[in-house]
Amino acid sequence: MSALVQVKEMSKSFHDNEVLSEISLSIEKGEFVSILGESGCGKSTLLNVIGGFEAPTSGHVLMDQVPIEKPTRRAIMLFQHYGLLPWRTVKKNVEFALEPTISSATERTKRANEYIQLVGLEGSANQFPAELSGGMQQRVAIARALAIQPELILMDEPFAALDTFNRYYLQDELLRIQQQEQTTVALVTHDIDEAVYLSDRIIIMDRNPGRIKKTIAITLPRPRDRSHGDFHYFRKLIFDTFHFGRNELDSDYHI
């Protein structure tokens, strides 16, 4: 793999408040990376800087060695609030994302139908968002993002508002789609189980100001079993990280 995103000694301040300090990381092409940490550690700000929605105060953020200076369609952001247009059907919501780049209505419909089918909503293509469950609405948002065919999907706690069963189902769906499409994903979460279940690597952040505390490679085979002892080993390793002294948090952990 080669690095799609590189963050080099990046800091971010709002007025006199330093939110992120000396962040350095890379995200490889096709990798699933989770950014894990407590509330207020700057996870969402880091995602916004990577997406070009915020400019770093210092340091560099690169995609394929080119500085990220503004949002582009190469990197798409997904939030827990789905952002669907309530007056458009599922199909028309997905097509909406394609209007700036695909002039042919026939081609837009063909692409939209392909990704609606990919997320298993072909039977709901003509329904409106209000007629769908929260989990189904999130699948529409995923289809809309994938239809653009971005290189990087940035996800800011996209499943936080869902019940446990829908969250587990969508985690499995996300992995299936990500592996099929070979999309790179960076996920912000504060859920340790979610991070272990989904990730190739987990970047653990500290706060005041936000900085990288530790990086852990999750080498468990997929599909992963949440009840397996190896899964709980990583859960405990991450949980304990938040309670260890700083001297023990300086190097990446690989197993």
For residue 246, pLDDT over 50 is answered with no
CATH class of the 1-25+32-74+154-227+236-255 domain in this structure: alpha beta
Taking the domains of the chain in order of start, what are their residue ranges? 1-25+32-74+154-227+236-255, 82-149
For residue 250, pLDDT over 50 is answered with no
* 165-181 residue pLDDT tens: 889 998 998 998 899 88
Q: For residue 81, what pLDDT is reported?
A: 74
Q: For residue 1, what pLDDT is reported?
A: 58
Read off the pTM.
Answer: 0.88
* 16-36 residue pLDDT tens: 899 999 999 999 999 999 999
For residue 192, pLDDT over 50 is answered with yes
DSSP string, the chain: --EEEEEEEEEEEETTEEEEEEEEEEEETT-EEEEE--TTSSHHHHHHHHTTSS--SEEEEEETTEE--S--TTEEEEESS----TTS-HHHHHHHHHTTT---HHHHHHHHHHHHHHTT-GGGTT--GGGS-HHHHHHHHHHHHHHT--SEEEEESTTTTS-HHHHHHHHHHHHHHHHHHT-EEEEEES-HHHHHHH-SEEEEEETTTBEEEEEEE----SS--TTSHHHHHHHHHHHHHTTS-GGG-SS-B--
* 53-108 residue pLDDT tens: 999 999 999 999 999 999 999 999 987 777 899 999 999 999 999 999 999 999 99
Pick the more confident residue, 243 or 132. 132
